[in-house]
Structure formats: structure tokens, C-alpha cells
Structure 1
Amino acid sequence: MQKPFVGLTAKNALRESMAGVTLLAIAVPLNIGYAQIAGLPPTAGLYALVLPAVLYALVVSSRQLIVSPDAAAAALVASSIGGLAVAGSADYLTLALAQAILCGLMFFAAAFFKLGFLANFLSKPILIGFVGGLALDIMVSQIAKMLGVSINSGGEFIEKATDLVTGLGGINWWSALLAALSIAVLVTGQRLLRAVPWALIVLILGTIVMVTTGLEDAGVAVLGPVESGPPRLTWPVIEWSMWLALVPSALALTLVTTAEGLLVSRSYGEKNGYKTSPNRDLFAFGLGNIAAGASGSFAVGSSTSRTAAMDQAGSRTQLPTVVMAAGTLLLLIFGTALLEDIPSPVIGAIVAVAIVPLLGFRELAALWKLDRFEFIVGVVCFLVTLLVGTIPGILVAFVLALINLAKRAANPAIDILAADGDPSDSLLNEATIGEVTVPGVLVIRMGAPLFFANGSVFSDAVKRAVRQARDTTPPTHVVIDMEAVTDVDVTAAESFVELRTWLTGRGITLSFSRTRLPLLNRLTQLDLIGDSTVFETNRAAIAALGVKEKA
């Protein structure tokens, strides 16, 4: 039996506070790396851990979901703003702030209109492909950083990959060695002691090496000066045309965060016995993004990896987020000088290790075994995102989702019911349609709403059933079991009218059974009932039609 959820108490306050220290140790190096991916100063990543995180924690319904920029969001920011301004410039930062505010407004709208269901269009294969494409694009930049190779980090994937390959002759071997050692410590440490903040340890050790050995003189890049001081409230001032240009990318960020964030929030709530509210969580994401845009940061979303780390640490409240925010604020005020000598290859190693699980190769291999069409959906989304761009990737994702939906809806379950059609009776599939046990009566059940994609499919299935049944006992009655039909659209109604005419021309009456009242009203509105009889059950239909069952 699941234990009831217990919130913050005096007994668990120490554990929650220590989890906050762990979260701080994880978040600082990662957010510095994600800010660099986004083409923004390190402070943009650190500012996201202060005001946006606190406001989100105070409003969200989830007790564990951690809000922060992540690798996918950072790549989306870079790819979408890179064509509008030069990375690192003041205009670039202003656009990133505006983009975060647009995300916040979209989250507010989604919460107000209760549109969280739209995230369901981003199925698992689509998310795997989309995030995997972004992750591989990021990985090229991090490999270049680890090897000390200069590439155009704001270019397309092919351009960056080409720069990396052609630049391999200029590898800085000290950078490569430092990155290799960092990866070894991160991977080995996480396997042996997952609770230890290895990213922070690697960051500290790498900085000590840089300070004591003078590797900067050997060409190893460092983070450089970091602006000190707390986040300052600001507001981006740009032209309306630029606001409009940011809408598609902000929509993509909102959709991906909604899909992943609500799923993770619900899963941890169910796991640990507390309720979550999707619309409240959407509002919290909106508040966090508005705060990010107004305090010098960029778009924030859910962090699956950090949420999992807090769950493993035993945290069951949002107190760790508040502790992390306090620690980051102290770092910004008093400790930014400690960040200047952090070696870039170490940051690259930390980010690379963090995004390897996002590449999705293992998940794609599993999809290949489970469902080839879903696998193709994931691969197409992966390739479009990687080779064409993030916005085309999200558009293709939605098109593929609709194609997948239409494909499944266009092939609904259509059952020919034996005897009285009760679920306890045997069901005959289309291969054995002629084996109907009630002479003269076909009871046919449609297992989905009738609409433009499957109206003709259903009509053809009924005709085929009638033709095959005529080989044994010519049917005189067709009864449509409407229990699983929730709606009928105009296009499907036209197919239904044509079916009724076809049946009437062969002396076959059409009846309905188990029709819900709202659907009955809809059928009447579409003039589909006509002279047909509506029965409460299939057995009542058979009895009323005066047909005796075979002994």
C-alpha cells in the first residue's frame, strides 16, 4: 500500500536542506554550460536559479519537479535567435529575454484555457526524435570545446560538423586530456556513488589544475570574467516585428516543456502519493518564464535529471529549490571571481555527459523492435531537427503526430458480434464474418468515433459483412452497436446515408442499439435515424426483430 504524502516538517527539514545543497552543486555547472550553448553569458544561466526558480517553487503543484533551463531549451534558443542577432551581443540577450516572456504568456494562456491536452500531440517517438536531434547538435559543439577546436557554434549542424572535422589537425592536447579525465571521473563516479555531486567536484578540480599549472598559457580556454551582483529587474524593448519573429520558437519551447513537464510532474506525484494540477503547473511555468525574461535569464522548463536526483536524495518538497536559489544568490554576490578560471573543456565534458541520455539511440532501438512506424516517426523528427532546424522539426513533429493519429483512426476496430453482441459472447473478426450465429441479423460494433477519416471504412466493412453473410444466410437486418461511438461528423454522416440507401436497396433494415443520449441527439440532427429503430440493447434488438437464434 502506498504511503500518504507528507510535506515539509521539522523532521525532514534538514534532509530537504541538504538536498538543496546537492541541487546547487548540480545546477551551477550545468547552467553555466547551458548558457554557453544558448550563446549567452554565464550569468544568464545562474540568474535562472534565483527569481524564476523561487516563484515557480511557490506556485507549482508538484512537490518535486525542478524548473531550469535545459540542454534542449538552450539549443532552441541558440538556433532560433542566432539568425536574428549576433550571439553574445546585447541585442541577442534582449531577444532571449523577450522569448522567455513570450513563453510565459503562452503558458498563462494554456493554463487559462486548459490547453494542456495539446501536449499529448507530442508523442514519445516525436519527443525522442526532436530532443535527440537537438542533443546531437549540442554534442558537436561540446566536442569542439573539449578538443580546443574553434567552430562556428551558431551555424547549422552540417557547418559545425564540417568545422570540427577540418579542425581536428589543430587539437589542443591539453584540453583533450583535461576533458577526457573529467569524463572518466564523471562516468565512473556516477556509477559508483550517484548521490555525490561529481560535476561540482570535477569543476573544482579542473579550476585548481588551471590555477596551479598555468595551462591557460598553453591554449586551454577558461570561462573568463563573470559579472558579479544579484539579478536586476529589466524588460526587453524590441520592435513588434521582432516579437512576432520570436513567436514560433517560443511556441516550440512551450510545447516541449508542457509535454515533458506535465508528464514528469504527474509520474512523480503518482509515485509518491500526492496530487498534481496540470493547469496550476502550466501557470507556474508561465510565472517562471516571465521572471526569467525580467531578470536577465532565458526560457526555463522542467529538468528531468535534476528532479530524478532530488527524488533519489529523498526530497519530497520544493525546499531544495529555495536553498539552491539562496546559494546561487550568495555565489553571484560574493563568489563570481571563483568562476573565472573554470576550464572550458571541463564545462564541455560536464554538458556532454549530461546530454548523452538525451540522444535517444537506445529508445529508437527499442521503437524499432516495438513499432516500425513509430520508429520512422522518431527518426524523421530527429533528422529534420538536426539537419533543417528546430522550428521545422517541431512543425514536422505535429504533422507526423496528425498522420499517426489519422492512420490509427482510419483503421478502427469493427466487430461482427455473434449471438446478442454482449461482451461476454464470442466476437467474430472480418475473416470469419460468415459464421454469424443469429440467422438474418448482423450486429456490427464500431470501436471509434465516426469522422471523415473512417466513415467510408466503416461503410465498406458493413457492406463486406453483408456480402459474406449472404453466402450462408441472407441478412434482413443490420443493427449498429453504437456504444463505443462518441461522435459523428458531417462527412461520416454522408457515408452513413449512402450505406442506408445501399442496405434499403437490398431489402435490409437498419437499426441502432446502445446509443448514448448525446449521440442520439447528434444522429437526429444529422437526419441519420430516419425510419430506423433505436434499441436499448443488442438482445432487445434481436428479440424485437423477431428472429430466433439457432439452437
Structure 2
Amino acid sequence: MQRPLAGLTRKNVGRELLAGVTLVAIAIPLNIGYAQIAGLPPTAGLYALVVPTIVYALVVSSRQLVASPDAAAAALVASSIGGLAAAGSADYATMALAQAIICGVMFILMSVFKLGFLANFLSKPILIGFVGGLALDILVSQIAKMLGIRIDSGGEFVEKTIGLVTGLGTLNVWSLLISVGSIAILLIGRRLLAVVPWALVVMIVATILVVVTDADGAGVAVLGEVPAGPPQLTWPMLSWTQWLALVPSALALTMVTVAEGLLVIRSYAEKRHYPTSPNRDLLAFGVGNIAAGASGSFAMGSSTSRTAAMDQAGSRTQLPSFVLAGGTLLLLLFGTALLAEIPSPAIGAIVGVAVLPLLGIREFRELWRLDRFEFWIGVVCFLATLFIGAIPGILVAFVLALVNMAKRAANPAIDVLAADGEPSGSLLADAPAGSVTAPGVVVVRMAAPLFFANGDVFGTAVKSAVTSARDSQDVHHVVIDLEAVTDADVTGAEAFAALRDWLDTSQVSLGFSRLRADARPRLERLGIIRDGDAVYPTNRAAVAALTEK
């Protein structure tokens, strides 16, 4: 088992500690903002940086991934629990704890049963659309906060947008000025000197400005009193019906985190050349989320932005996460009074700038260039998440994933092979009329398993090849190249039986080549290969044997 601080040496410990200080400066303002997005008190965001962070860092195999609640998770928490309890109520906070614990159990089960592959159903276009929809929903709330307009942050996207537009008459000029200044510092500062924690600079400068000018007296909302003290171990007390009501949203949170988290872990491991264990990483997410639910926080996942920041800072271990936990604990014990005067417009600006890249504008443009169908999948998922809701959005995402997979599986590459084994024409594109492998012989290859989605397509393609070839010469033999047919199902076998009957009626013999040994028992059981069928080791052997007859 890999030690918790793998990669830490005497040479890099100083750099790792400095990266940890940077992580503290980045994570604290963001987590306060994410807690507000989730409809929870600031302490819920800060508590996530203590016990859950330590537990996660002790278990995870990744040396770099930073785990924390993020914008998408916070929005999912708000949209899912908002329909079950009033934001700010005791029941709401308790449900957030329970939701995190359910997520943790799901992660652990996925780790035990090695189910991480399920996250592959969330393809890149689906993730872009889903996260983009959540990001735009968050952005509306943060814009309202930046303008000093009060809206129901727990409402639906349309309600919040209407509230923002109709509330423009109540805009607070001081809030607007703080927001504009904060955004300018964040954007310009990042370009001039990226290593500086500009979010912390914004919080400090904005807070000093509020205290000096008494801007809160002019209507600028501030964070308010934050209770001091470390996180307390607790357990959410809910009825079974309430626990069950949280399962769908916990499943959505889990799947999104698995899809994004494992991808980020793998990409950095490949980039920095160290081993990882996906099942151990799932276990780390599991125990981290249970720790979050048991210590007053909410569901946590992977933080792509913070992981990237640590990589840029030269961090190659989990030491910054331990520094983050220690720094946050010190703040909770001795420095919460410093947080009371932080202006909400500044927090809105920090979160808004952090969320902006999640809209996926650049990614959508790239999808449009590469594949229009996948672009529209992303758009539909984006709109479903935005206008129907996060949980229906994830369901739509899975349906779209299945549609996309079925569409591609139903149109496999089916080729007539030339005598040298190379395709002489695609039967699903514009195959040259009369394509044959050798005089009187047609060798056909399908580059996919034979199942319900493509069985009829394959049969039609073979019939087309024979019919087309007979326009110029006699065809007496068809050979099916089975190298890529790794599996088959009952529906595919029935479609193949119909093709066999058609070939018999047309007085065309049927043979097979390059049959995989591991696939043969199943193909025989389904009747695709029958006693007496000719099976050739290679296509050349098949052509040689048939042209000699």
C-alpha cells in the first residue's frame, strides 16, 4: 500500500509547504462561496477542509488530486435538497450531511465491486453540458450577489433569472463597485502574476474597504458572524423516507465525481509518471464523504482548479492538503472574527470568476468543430440541466449516453476485403459496385460484436454485397471474417439465421475465417456457427480453398 505522503523528500518539502499555504489562500474563500451556493452556513465549507481532507489524503493513491466541495456539487446539493426542505433550516443542513454519507457509501460500494467503469457512460459532451448548465445557474445567483439584488437562490433557473432582471431597480451601487474592482483584481492579477492567491487578496482588500467606509451601513451585504471552534462529530437523524429521498441526488453527485475525478487523477498520474489505483481512489472519496457528513459539511468531490494550481506550484504530494487542514483549523479556532465583514459581492465575484470556465464555451466550440451530433448531445444536456433540474438532467445525460452508444454500435464498419486482406469498400458507405475478394468469393468483415442493434444492419450489408457483385459475375461463396466479433446476443443470432437462410436460397455457401477461440463456444451455442460449417484460419486460406473448387 502506498504511503500517504509518497513522493515527499527533504529536497521538496519546502516547496510542498509553500504550495500548502497557497492552497489555504485559494480554498478558504472558494469554500465559503460554495457553502453559500449549497444553501449552507460558511462553516460547512470550512469544515470540509479539515477532517474530510485529512481522511481523503491518507487513503487516496493520487499524489496530487485535491478533494473538496466544488461549484457543481454545491449546485446539486442546493437543487436536490431545496425541494425537500427550506434552505437555512435545520432539516436542510441535516439532509446535506445525510446526502454526503450516502455518497460515501456509494463510493465505497463502487470501490469494492470495481464499478468505476459506470462513470464512462458520462462522456465528455454530457459532462460539458451537465456542468455547464449547473455553472450558468450558479452564475445567475452570483451576479445577483455582486449587484446587491436579493433573489431566491434556491429557486429554479427561470425564477432566479426573472428575479434578477426585475430586481435591477434595487441595484446597490457600492456592491457593484466592489464587484467590478474584485473582478478586475482577479482577472488582471492572474495574468500579471499567476502565483499570487488573488482570491485571498480580494477578500482582504474588500473587507478593509467595507470596514473603513462602513459600506455595510450603505446596504452592502456581509458574511456575518461565523461560529468559532473545530468541527464536531455528529450523525444526521432522519426518517427512512427522508434518507431514501436523498438517494437519487447522491447517485448523481457520485457519478459526476467518479467521471471527473478519476479522469483528472489518471491525467496527472500519466503526466507526472507515478502509479495510481482507481479502486483505492474511489474508496478515498467514500471515506472522505462519510467524514464530511459526520463533521458538519456536505458532499465533496474533485477540485480540478485547485489540483491544477497545486501542479503549477510544483506540488507532487498530498502534503498541501494536510497544510490546508491545519490552516483552516487555526482559522476556525482563532480567526473567525476576521470573516464577519467579508462583503458578499466580493465572494460572488470570486465564485463567479471561478465558475466561468465551467460554462464550457470553448469546449462547445470544439465539439461543434469535431462532431455535430456530440455537440447537440451536450446542448440538450445543458438545457435539460438548466430548465428541468440537476437530477432530471443527469437522467437525461444517461439516456443520451445510451442513445449515442446505440447509434454508434448500430453503424459498425462492415467491409468487403480484397485478396490482400485490406478493405475494398465499406458496405455502409459507398462500396464500389461489384466488390469481391476473389472470383466468386466475397469476404466480409464487421468490426464489432453482433447484437440487437446491428444484426439486421449486418445481414442487409452482406446481402447488398452479394447482390451488387452478381451484377458483374457469379458469387458462390461468402466468408465472414470473425476476428472482431468478440460476442453476440440472441437477437443478433436470429438476424444471422435469417441471413443464412437467404444465402441458402441464393445458393451461396457460407464459411468463416479468423474465429476467436474465446468467442467460439458462445457463437456455437447461439447457432451462428453450426456443425459442418467451414472455418478457415485466415482469409487467404479461405480464398485459396474456395477458388480451387
Using the size of structure 1 for normalisation, the TM-score is 0.97
Letter of the 2:538 counterpart: T
Alignment-derived partner of residue 538 in structure 2: 537
CA distance in 2 between partners of 1:372 and 1:334 (Å): 54
What does 1:120-269 align with in structure 2 at a 5 Å threshold? 120-269=120-269
Alignment-derived partner of residue 107 in structure 2: 107
Contact 1:509/1:532 (8 A) holds in 2: no
Alignment-derived partner of residue 427 in structure 1: 424
Letter of the 1:471 counterpart: D
Contact 1:35/1:44 (8 A) holds in 2: yes
Partner-residue secondary structure (3-state), 1:445: strand
**Alpha-carbon distance change, 437 to 512 in structure 1, aligned in 2, over 3 angstroms:** closer
Contact 2:439/2:547 (8 A) holds in 1: no
Partner-residue secondary structure (3-state), 2:519: helix
**Alpha-carbon distance change, 420 to 366 in structure 1, aligned in 2, over 3 angstroms:** closer
- TM-superposed CA distance for 1:544, in Å, is 2.2
Contact 1:420/1:542 (8 A) holds in 2: no
Contact 1:417/1:427 (8 A) holds in 2: yes
Partner-residue secondary structure (3-state), 2:445: strand
Contact 1:439/1:547 (8 A) holds in 2: no
Residues 173-230 of structure 1: CA deviation (Å, up to 9, x unaligned) = 0000001000000000111111110000100011111111111110001000001100
Residues 117-157 of structure 1: CA deviation (Å, up to 9, x unaligned) = 11111011100100000000000100000100010111100
Letter of the 1:112 counterpart: V
**Alpha-carbon distance change, 426 to 88 in structure 1, aligned in 2, over 3 angstroms:** closer
Alignment-derived partner of residue 416 in structure 2: 416
What does 1:35-434 align with in structure 2 at a 5 Å threshold? 35-421=35-421, 425=422, 427-430=424-427, 431-434=431-434
Alignment-derived partner of residue 519 in structure 2: 519
Contact 1:438/1:547 (8 A) holds in 2: no
**Alpha-carbon distance change, 426 to 81 in structure 1, aligned in 2, over 3 angstroms:** closer
Alignment-derived partner of residue 490 in structure 1: 490
> Unpaired segments of 5 or more residues in structure 2?
none
Letter of the 1:428 counterpart: G
**Which moved further from structure 2: 249-258 or 357-366?**
357-366
> Unpaired segments of 5 or more residues in structure 1?
none
Contact 2:149/2:170 (8 A) holds in 1: yes
CA distance in 2 between partners of 1:383 and 1:6 (Å): 43
CA distance in 1 between partners of 2:359 and 2:242 (Å): 32
- TM-superposed CA distance for 1:426, in Å, is 5.1
- TM-superposed CA distance for 1:420, in Å, is 4.7
Contact 2:436/2:443 (8 A) holds in 1: no
CA distance in 1 between partners of 2:94 and 2:81 (Å): 10
Residues 284-308 of structure 1: CA deviation (Å, up to 9, x unaligned) = 0001000000000000000000000
- TM-superposed CA distance for 1:428, in Å, is 2.4
Letter of the 1:39 counterpart: G
Letter of the 2:407 counterpart: K
What is the CA RMSD across the aligned residues, in angstroms?
Answer: 1.1
CA distance in 2 between partners of 1:483 and 1:427 (Å): 17
CA distance in 2 between partners of 1:439 and 1:547 (Å): 11
Residues 379-415 of structure 1: CA deviation (Å, up to 9, x unaligned) = 1000010011001100000000000000000000001
- TM-superposed CA distance for 1:437, in Å, is 4.7
- TM-superposed CA distance for 1:435, in Å, is 3.3
Letter of the 2:26 counterpart: I
Partner-residue secondary structure (3-state), 1:216: helix
Letter of the 1:370 counterpart: L
Alignment-derived partner of residue 17 in structure 1: 17
Using the size of structure 2 for normalisation, the TM-score is 0.97
Contact 2:435/2:465 (8 A) holds in 1: no
CA distance in 2 between partners of 1:73 and 1:304 (Å): 13
- TM-superposed CA distance for 1:433, in Å, is 4.7
CA distance in 2 between partners of 1:489 and 1:304 (Å): 40
Letter of the 1:13 counterpart: V
Residues 321-376 of structure 1: CA deviation (Å, up to 9, x unaligned) = 00000000000001100100000000000000000000112211221121111111
Alignment-derived partner of residue 469 in structure 1: 469
Contact 1:229/1:333 (8 A) holds in 2: yes
Contact 1:48/1:68 (8 A) holds in 2: yes
Partner-residue secondary structure (3-state), 2:246: helix
CA distance in 1 between partners of 2:364 and 2:541 (Å): 50
- TM-superposed CA distance for 1:547, in Å, is 3.7
Q: How many residues align?
A: 541
- TM-superposed CA distance for 1:517, in Å, is 1.2
CA distance in 2 between partners of 1:433 and 1:108 (Å): 56
